Amino acid sequence: MILEVLEQKLRNPALLEGLGGVAVSLVQKNIEQGSWVPNAALTVSVKQGSKPLRDRGQLLSSITYRVKGNNVEVGTNHPAAELLHNGGVVRPVKSKALAIPAGPWVRTLMRGTDLQPRVMLDQLKGSGWSIWRQGNVVMGRKKGGKEPMPLFVLRTSVTIPARPFMKLPPESVRMLTDYLKRSVVEG
C-alpha cells in the first residue's frame, strides 16, 4: 500500500513540472556561478566581459525542460551548447581560416550581416574602406582615416575548453533530492 501511494505521488504531473522548473533554475545558477576555465583574452575583449558561458544570455535563456511520460528531461536547443559543455576544437569548414572579430564593434557590425565575415568586409569595401591582411590579422582603414584597425584575427583552429554546465554540482543535486523528498512527504 505504501509503495503504491509513493508511486502515485512520483507520477504526479505537478510534481514533475515542479521538479523540471527547479532543475532548470539550478542549471542556470550553475552557468552563472560555476568555476569555469577562464575565457581567452581575445574572447574577453570581443564580448566585453570575462564570464565564461555568459554573453548575451542566449544559452542561459535556452535551458528548458519537458515532462515525457514519468520523466523530466532538462536540456537546451542552443546550437553551441554541446561544444560549450564538452569542449572541442573548431576548424574552418569552407575557408582556410576562422575569422574571429578583433573587437566588440566588429562583432556588432557582423550581427547585421548574418555573422559572415566576408559579407561584412564586402560592405566595408563598398563604403570606401581599404582592407588588407597583415600576418594573421585582417586590417582595415576607413576612407579618409589615418589609423588602421584590426578587423579579424585569423586562426586555423580554436580550442574551446569543456565547461560542463549541465552537470550539476553536489549541492544542487541535494537541492533536487530535498525538493523530491518534501514534495512526496508533504504533497
Contact 166, 74 (CB under 8 A): yes
Average pLDDT over residues 174-185: 84
User: How many Å separate Cα 106 from the centre of its chain?
Assistant: 19
Contact 70, 58 (CB under 8 A): no
Q: Are strands 158-160 and 88-90 parallel, antiparallel or unpaired?
A: antiparallel
Distances in Å between the alpha carbon of 63 and those of 26, 95, 124, 168, 169?
Answer: 10, 32, 37, 13, 17
Rounded distance between C-alpha atoms, residue 1 and residue 5, angstroms: 6
Average pLDDT of every residue of the chain:
89
Give the DSSP letter string of 40-93. Answer: PHHHHHHHT---TT-SSSHHHHH-EEEEETTEEEEE---TTHHHHHH-EEE--S
Write out pLDDT tens, residues 21-71: 999 999 999 999 999 999 999 888 888 888 999 988 899 999 999 999 888
∠ CA 27-187-177, nearest 5°, is 35
Quickly state the pLDDT bin for 1 (edges 50, 70, 90).
very low
Residues in CB range of 65: below 8 A, 6 or more apart: 20, 21, 23, 24, 72, 73, 74, 75
Write out pLDDT tens, residues 115-143: 689 989 998 999 999 999 999 999 999 99
Rounded distance between C-alpha atoms, residue 148 and residue 163, angstroms: 36
Start-to-end CA distance of the chain, whole Å, equals 17
Quickly state the pLDDT bin for 12 (edges 50, 70, 90).
confident
Quickly state the pLDDT bin for 179 (edges 50, 70, 90).
confident
Is it the case that residue 5 has pLDDT exceeding 60?
no
Secondary element (H or E) of residue 131: strand 130-134
